[in-house]
Chain A
Amino acid sequence: MGMLKDKDRNKVTNLFKQIDNDVTILMFTQETECQHCEMTRKMLEEVSGLSDRISLEVHDFVAEADLAKKYGVDKIPATVLLGDKDYGIRFYGVPAGYEFNVLIQDIRDVGKRDPGLSEAVTAELAKIDEPVHLQVIISPT
């Protein structure tokens, strides 16, 4: 039995029909999985199965430390979304509850290669000429 209810699975499947480019999800866990790592992996396995455009790679944070370092991953469970390039999108912890919406929307945006921002906002963001580290910290309630 999957984690998604039938109604939600249909909703996500329909939304993923908008994806017209490949999306790779890297998930970092470890050999002896913590409960949240297992939850994240199983959820991503189910989500990635809802579109042929999405592939999931599960990696070992300890055994593949160099890969983790390459993507700046310093804690698990970690989820990395990749398109033609690394857009810097990372989820730490389980992207469940309300954040599941955000995960699905981000996968869709990467798959469309379009963040859905207006021209004015895009032009404003284009003026940023140095790396910016944005972190959104959420509570599970």
Chain B
Amino acid sequence: MDFPSFSLDTSLLEEANQPDPEITYDLLILGGGPAAMSAAVYASRKMMNLAIITKDFGGQVRETSEVENWLGFQSINAKDLADSFEEHVKSFDIPVSLGRVITEVKKQGDTFTVWTDDGTVYSSRTVILSTGKRHRPLNVPGEQELVGRGLAYCATCDAPFFRRKKVVVAGGGNSAFTTVLDLVKVEAEVILINFIRGWQADGPLQERVEQTSTVSMLDYHQIVKIEGKDKVTGVVIKNRETEKQKKLETDGVFVEIGLLPNNQSVKNLVELNDQGEVIVDCSSQTSVQGLYGAGDVTTVPHKQIVIAAGEGAKAALSAYNYLINKSLL
């Protein structure tokens, strides 16, 4: 008997080649966002022997919904864009260690050694650090315990869970305002709380939020505690002007107070700026010969997908030139 409309999808069963710890690669790419994926494409086309170590593919692109500034597309679904990047990279059959966190990078002689959280050690002559950024936490009581239980860092991922609920958003920049608008779309009642004095979001975003009757804005206030046992039930906030505290009942808290660079694996190796970003020159070179940086983890300003992709390409070509100049390719 035939079964119409019956399909058996095996797409997740594809297992990429694993990097070989016995090999000294020409290049190891650390990370899986646009910078890393672009670097992988450029390095592959230069026939470099490379491998990728990453927790996942797509990076922060997967946390947004639509991208309206990727050249050639007036608007493109962010997941589709990330999927197309990933598909492009996988077309080169590059060994990938997926799901791994990089714990340390060291340089011994002319060789880099890279440790991952499962204890595996990989070797390479050059490294591109493109590990991106992660969400900055509030660091208040209750936050760590309630992550995923009403406390979230990604509106694109979690806003739909708060349909017609009461939600607090921490932050005052573009990310916080975009989060508010995502929550307004699901008819949530939102209180926006800004720690520093004055909103930092772009004018048009502020105007759209200010015109929304279901949003309250509290400037120069601080969240001092998140309450709830199994799920978020409220927050304690403090007016930084009067020092007075009060409790707000809420079903959720979205934290949008900026990002921290994922520099843990190189902080003892390479020069960082005061924000912890890896210092690179215009050739993506870090303070360590053979170690290149690309994307949001670096000091390059304007954290944008198109800029990260360009930086990744540049880092790969710089790594290639470095190996050519040292007669290692």
Given contacts A38-B1, A39-B3, A118-B117, contact A4 B13 (CB under 8 A): no
Q: Which of A102-127 contact B (CB under 8 A)?
A: 102, 104-105, 118
**Chain A residues with CB under 8 A of B15:** 15
B262 to chain A, nearest CB (A): 18
Bound-state Cα–Cα, A38 to B2, Å: 11
Question: Contact string, B9-27, partner A, CB cutoff 8 A, digits 1/0?
Answer: 1111111000000000000
Question: Contact string, B77-98, partner A, CB cutoff 8 A, digits 1/0?
Answer: 0000000000000000000000
Question: Contact string, B228-270, partner A, CB cutoff 8 A, digits 1/0?
Answer: 0000000000000000000000000000000000000000000
Contact indicator A96/B1 (Cβ below 8 Å): no
Contact indicator B10/A97 (Cβ below 8 Å): no
Q: When A and B form their complex, which 7 residue pairs have the shortest distance between CB atoms, in order from nearest?
A: A101-B12, A100-B8, A8-B10, A98-B9, A39-B3, A11-B10, A11-B13
A25 in contact (CB, < 8 A) = no
Given contacts A38-B1, A118-B117, A118-B118, contact A3 B13 (CB under 8 A): no
B12 to chain A, nearest CB (A): 4
Number of interface residues of A (CB under 8 A): 20
Contact indicator A96/B13 (Cβ below 8 Å): no
B211 in contact (CB, < 8 A) = no
Contact indicator A15/B13 (Cβ below 8 Å): yes
Bound-state Cα–Cα, A101 to B15, Å: 12
Q: Which of B116-175 contact A (CB under 8 A)?
A: 117-118
Contact indicator A3/B117 (Cβ below 8 Å): no
Number of interface residues of B (CB under 8 A): 14
**Chain B residues with CB under 8 A of A8:** 8, 10
A104: contacting residue among B1, B3, B7, B10, CB under 8 A:
B10
Q: Which of B1, B6, B10 neighbours the largest number of chain A CB atoms within 10 Å of its CB?
A: B10
Bound-state Cα–Cα, A15 to B13, Å: 8
Closest to A140 in B: B5
Closest to B11 in A: A101
Question: Contact string, A47-65, partner B, CB cutoff 8 A, digits 1/0?
Answer: 0000000000000000000
Bound-state Cα–Cα, A26 to B8, Å: 20
A3: contacting residue among B8, B9, B118, CB under 8 A:
B8
Contact indicator A96/B7 (Cβ below 8 Å): yes
In the complex, besides A12-B10, A12-B13, A100-B9, 10 extra interface pairs with C-beta distance below 8 angstroms are A3-B6, A11-B13, A15-B13, A43-B8, A96-B8, A97-B8, A98-B9, A101-B10, A104-B10, A105-B12
Given contacts A4-B8, A96-B7, contact A104 B118 (CB under 8 A): no
